[in-house]
Structure 1
Amino acid sequence: MGIGLESSESPTKSQMSVDTDSHEDVTDPKSSPDSKTTVPKSKKHKPSSRPVIQWLFWGSAFVLTATISATLGAALALFTPLSPFITPLTQGFGVKGDSWSRGFPYKIARPVNILVMGIDRVPEAPKNSAAVFAGRSDTMLLLRLDPSDNSVRMLSIPRDTQVNIPGVGLAKINDANVEGGAALAARVVSRSLNNVPIDRYLRVTTEAFRELVDLVGGIEVFVPYPMQYTDVTQNLNIDLESGWQTLNGDQAEQFARFRKDKNGDIGRVQRQQALLKALRQRLVSPTVLSRLPQVIQVMQQYVDTNLSLEELLAIAGFGLELQQDSVKMVLLPGRFSDPKEFSGSYWLIDPSRRDRVMREYFQQNPAWAALEPHSSSQSVRIAIQNATDKPQLGQQVARYLASKNFRNVYIVKDWPDHQSQTQIIVQQGDLEAATTLKKIVGVGRIEASSTGDIESDLTIRVGEDWIETNVE
């Protein structure tokens, strides 16, 4: 099944797809270039010998791992002079317009789901070999690119999520790639998420993110508390101070991999989302554009994907239309397992909240969906987090919400970075409840990510604008 390409030239049939029901390699090495294939096992993966395809494959990876940066996606494609589908940009990098769009004769004709995996290091794997993609998936994201509203929805799947892997049994979802490569990982993800279709996959090694951050000159991130941890077995030494700072590649990896806090693996997912937002902001900087040729040459070795050339061009063109608020992130709802439940530690999926996320973010509509009433906005669990220097503001907000019949409200530890604007963080993906809450409180903006309190449905991170409204 293709991803629904439309072309301003002659239509081109997609040539690759993810088969979520089988992870067997059905590729005939003697077949013609136009033969339809499914995802090969990673041990049989052979990088394309055509430099233009390698460059464009990396362009796709770059666009996706940076949450589809519009400027970067366009620039990567335009930096590939041999492509017959690209019109060279002779006017230089400037305002987006016709000179940009002429380079993208294809567009996405329907919603597309892409599984993105960041693969752990495989110590014994030779560099630049297919074996480097055979490790556990340290990061797993399911992206939905929807041309109907020019949006990207991103589901973060914790690496410790408990799933049933065929031939293995109950295991953590990050083992699926080890057991059967990208095809088995896609199959397990699909079946765990109400059989959501997965059209394509993309795998990057952990070195990719570190190199990428260095190549763009670092990213600005708020570190909420000091992070110190050493693990000799993983060759991991984390040492970060708190506060706003520009992290280099090594420090960004430390920030992402730190687990020694109360949130464990879920804290890692939250920090990954924060890093993606920071990277996206960095990628739209004009100063990054001059570094793109070097970025492409260095980064292509870290990517494995089954996106075709035409599909890459469609994705890059799609990126041109994205606005900052059109990317919505959500964490797969669930809870930590109790030590008495299993011998290992797992993230256990919450079925009802998962179903809501799959409906609202991925348009997966089970037959019973119409029978499920939406939860009342007054029943949602709301965490209040003060992000100002007014000590009693959290209690003031709680009293105000109680006056509006919100009863399931609690206060969490103050956020250490003072904010001018209140955030309503959609922790469990309930955008409808967040919209209702914003109308009632009358301040702030909705943050479509899962970076609030993990026990909440919504987290209100209260900023200075609440004080200015004199609510109460």
Structure 2
Amino acid sequence: MAASDQQRLKRWFGRHPLRTMLRIAATLVGVGVSGWLISIVWPEPDRVARGGPPSVSDPTSLAKFPAMPITLLVIGVDTDNLSDPTNQAAPKGPANADALLLVRIDAKQPLRVLQVPTELAVQLPGSDQPMALGGLWRSGGVSLMADAIREIVGIADTDLQRYVVVPRQTLRTLVDGLGEVDVILSQSYKRTDKSLGYGVDLQAGRQSLNGAQAEQLARLLQNGRDYENRRLRQQMLMRSVVDQLQAPSGIVGIRVLLDEVNGQLETNLSYSEMLSLAAALIASPAPVQFSQLPLAPAVGEQTLRQLKPGLPLPLWPTP
């Protein structure tokens, strides 16, 4: 190789151009293999069912199922729309994640949901003080949140490759599109915060909730340490939403519903992948299986929580 060619390679690839090029080649091969592995999971877009309405007796009439179970990171943020500069929630300010879920979807197994506490204490490199896990959303968005949850739960990168970011508006749209959801409340809830334009007025007993009422139930914090009870209320709401999706009216209207919410979400799922996951969710047997990360007892009045010490990883085993 001529001296001028060697100088050119060093200028572009550093002092060890051959080593650098091998690293680049290995990275490209890795990306290609990862893309190939992902591609074999999902059905081809043209395999999505067209023509007549889908049937609840045959969810594949909506779309073919993924070839293997999929773990989806669901981030519920406290803004009404993803583009809103402030959350109009408590505490008021930039957006936070107020619901964090790992959802395992498998047409042959019950839907599995891990609720990750948003009040879990985390500390960013270079920071002097811990912060709530939910606050990582405004610091680094999906990427930082996904990395933190992978490390906390102890799961591999390949087990968490799809995400959905859901603002409050999408919850209302989803519930109204399903035609209300039924819940049984063990107590009445009444709370008003005029500064945030937010109120809750729900009566005990069996209730059919519209979108606005479902949002009230999902957001409700009766005090600054009510997070665990809020997760239980969110469980109740999620069960009801899944029941409605699995009803005949749910599967018939799923395409229209996805069209309505698709523009409100941030996700790396394609439309055909959404249909595929919806079909698998509709086919999954009841009941939904919920898990929560074990927390150490709260200390004094602090709201930040720690995981129970000595827990072996992973905290939520995946097949």
> Is the contact between residue 120 and residue 137 of structure 1 (CA under 8 Å) also seen in structure 2?
yes
Partner of 1:153: 112
- When residues 160 and 8 of structure 1 are mapped into structure 2, their CA distance, relative to the original with a 3 A threshold, is closer
How much has 1:337 moved relative to structure 2?
A: 2.9
- When residues 282 and 154 of structure 1 are mapped into structure 2, their CA distance, relative to the original with a 3 A threshold, is same
Q: Deviations over 1:413-446 (max 9, x none)?
A: xxxxxxxxxxxxxxxxxxxxxxxxxxxxxxxxxx
> Is the contact between residue 5 and residue 311 of structure 1 (CA under 8 Å) also seen in structure 2?
no
Partner of 2:292: 331
How much has 1:317 moved relative to structure 2?
A: 4.7
Partner of 2:12: none
Bigger proportion of residues as helix: 2
Amino acid in the other structure paired with 2:175:
V
1:302 aligns with 2:260: no
Q: C-alpha separation between the residues in 2 aligned to 1:259 and 1:331?
A: 18
Partner of 2:47: 85
> Is the contact between residue 155 and residue 314 of structure 2 (CA under 8 Å) also seen in structure 1?
no
Partner of 1:121: 79
Alignment match of 1:101 (pick from 39, 45, 60): 60
| Alignment map for 1:228-243 (pairs within 5 Å) | 228-243=190-205
Identity %: 23
Q: Deviations over 1:179-199 (max 9, x none)?
A: 011000001111111244322
1:212 aligns with 2:174: yes
> Is the contact between residue 71 and residue 161 of structure 2 (CA under 8 Å) also seen in structure 1?
yes
> Is the contact between residue 120 and residue 305 of structure 2 (CA under 8 Å) also seen in structure 1?
yes
- When residues 272 and 293 of structure 1 are mapped into structure 2, their CA distance, relative to the original with a 3 A threshold, is same
Amino acid in the other structure paired with 2:142:
A
How much has 1:354 moved relative to structure 2?
A: 6.8
Q: Which moved more, 1:286-295 or 1:239-248?
A: 286-295
Higher relative contact order (CA 8 A, sep 6+): 2
Q: C-alpha separation between the residues in 1 aligned to 2:200 and 2:56?
A: 41
Partner of 1:427: none
Q: C-alpha separation between the residues in 2 aligned to 1:106 and 1:5?
A: 13
Partner of 1:142: 102
Partner of 2:162: 200
How much has 1:138 moved relative to structure 2?
A: 1.2
Unaligned ranges ≥5, structure 2: 1-33, 86-93
How much has 1:321 moved relative to structure 2?
A: 3.9
Residue 176 of structure 2 aligns to a residue in which SS?
helix
Q: C-alpha separation between the residues in 1 aligned to 2:55 and 2:140?
A: 45
| Alignment map for 1:360-371 (pairs within 5 Å) | 361-362=317-318
Q: Deviations over 1:79-105 (max 9, x none)?
A: xxxx63323243x444634xx537645
Partner of 2:227: 265
> Is the contact between residue 85 and residue 103 of structure 1 (CA under 8 Å) also seen in structure 2?
no
TM-score (normalizing by structure 1)? 0.51
> Is the contact between residue 209 and residue 253 of structure 1 (CA under 8 Å) also seen in structure 2?
yes
